[in-house]
Structure formats: C-alpha cells, structure tokens
Amino acid sequence: MSGPLSVVVPCAGRGSRLGLPFPKELLPTPDGRVLLDQVVDLIAGLDVRVLLVTAADREPTIAHLHRRYPQVPVAAVRQGADTSGLSAAVRVALPFLGARTVVLLPDQRLQEMPDRSPVADADRLLRATSACFLASWCDDPQRIAADGALTIDRDPSQGGMGRVQRMADKPGLEAAGGHNAVWFAFGFRREVAGPVLDQLDLAERHLLADADFARGPLHAAPVIVVPPFVDCGTWPAVRDMWRRHGKDVPCD
C-alpha cells in the first residue's frame, strides 16, 4: 500500500443545469477563485498524483491547473462522448491508478475547510480498509432526495466516524427519510475498484437493492465526517453559496 495517492477528478460532465459557456469547475467562487481550486486545497501537502477525467472542451480546465498549480502533478484522460455518469468517468481512469484512490468531485464545495485534511485521513484509512466515504450529516429531506444519500451508523468510539449501511443516488422524497447523510467523496483500493464502481453504477441507475449493497465493498465502509458542503450543480445552490458571503453571483 505504499506509493502516492491517486486523486481522480471527474471533469467531463456537461453541466447542462447551469448552462455555462465554460466548464462548470471553473465557476467563480466568493473568495475570488474557482470551484476547482478547493480540490487543490484538499490535497495540499500530500503525496498525490492527480488524474483529470475530461471531455473535448476541457482545455481551459487543464490550463488552469498547469498555470496556477505547477507544483501539482496532473495528467488527463478523456471520457468518451458515448458514456456518461460518475462510475463511467472513474472507469476511464482505472488503468492509470495506483494502489489507493480518492475521487473528488469539483462541484462539491465545503462551506468551511476542516482543520485536518479529510483526504489525508482517507489515505490513511485505505491502507487498512478496502473503501471509505467522506460525508456530511444531513437531516434535510429535500437535500437527501436530490443527492448521493447514505445511511450511517454513528460510532462515538471512533470520534463520530460510523459505517455505511445503505446507499442511494437521488432517492427522492419518499425514500429520503431512510438516510442521514450525503457523501462528498469516496475512496477505494485498487483490488476492489471494479465492484465499487459496479455498486455506484447500480445506484446511479436506481437499481441497487439493499441486499446487493450488503454484498459489496461499499457496505460497512468507514466514513470520514466533513463539514457541510454545497453541490454547485444548480443555480439555486450557486446563489446560496454566494449569498452566504453577502454577495451576488457575478455571472448570473
């Protein structure tokens, strides 16, 4: 389990809900930067190799990282136009990944940065366990209904870290009450990459039954609790992010 941590950043999505004339990971944030910059904040000082999963229009994204963060080792692999979804994006990266991988979504933005790096904590966990999640507690049914939802058993003996018992992607309001968290990122070891992505794919297609989840590597995965975060994939969420800082969205 030695060697650098692989960090996959899926950047091939069209961002159709925002309708931006540029990649959504380059959306300005209230601190004068862009969404993608927080990914770099989260891996600062760590031994990592970053792999962007891109589309044909992502040259500005690659250029931004090379220009602003020349010290960060970054490579890019293109996702085919005939595939979509998170699990498909990560599969494109599989041939280039090391022993341990964390997947960070560039449009998920923590409302505040924690004192300890949750990515560093995930890297340590993955040296001893096959998979993990970074997640935030959530009791808002509307948020859970439209996000990556988890049911976590709280474990006070582990400093608030629990284990995942159920998982659903955008479960809808009727099923939202069965979950208590939303996930921010996830990690896995190379030997379970295929089964992990199979479970994610089934969840994305709303085909992941509880019994099937219980048989896979994401079941009982430990959870690193992170601060609340904003999913910046819609304009209401983007406006809320800016209003928290007392500002209006400059590109609205």
Q: Which residue has the higher pLDDT, 157 or 119?
A: 119
Beta bridge partners of 135: 183, 225
Report the candidate in 127, 133, 149, 151 with the shortest Cα–Cα distance to residue 214: 151
Instruction: Tell me the average pLDDT of the chain.
Output: 90
- 76-96 pLDDT, tens per residue? 999 987 888 899 999 999 999
Average pLDDT over residues 21-42: 90
Q: How high is the pLDDT of residue 2?
A: 76
pLDDT at 123 over 90: yes
26 touches 9 (CB < 8 A)? no
For residue 181, what is the DSSP state? E
Average pLDDT over residues 15-27: 77
Q: How high is the pLDDT of residue 155?
A: 65
51 touches 9 (CB < 8 A)? yes
Q: How high is the pLDDT of residue 1?
A: 64
186 touches 131 (CB < 8 A)? yes
Domains of the chain: 1-113 (3.90.550.10), 121-226 (no CATH)
107 touches 17 (CB < 8 A)? no
- 49-59 pLDDT, tens per residue? 999 999 888 89
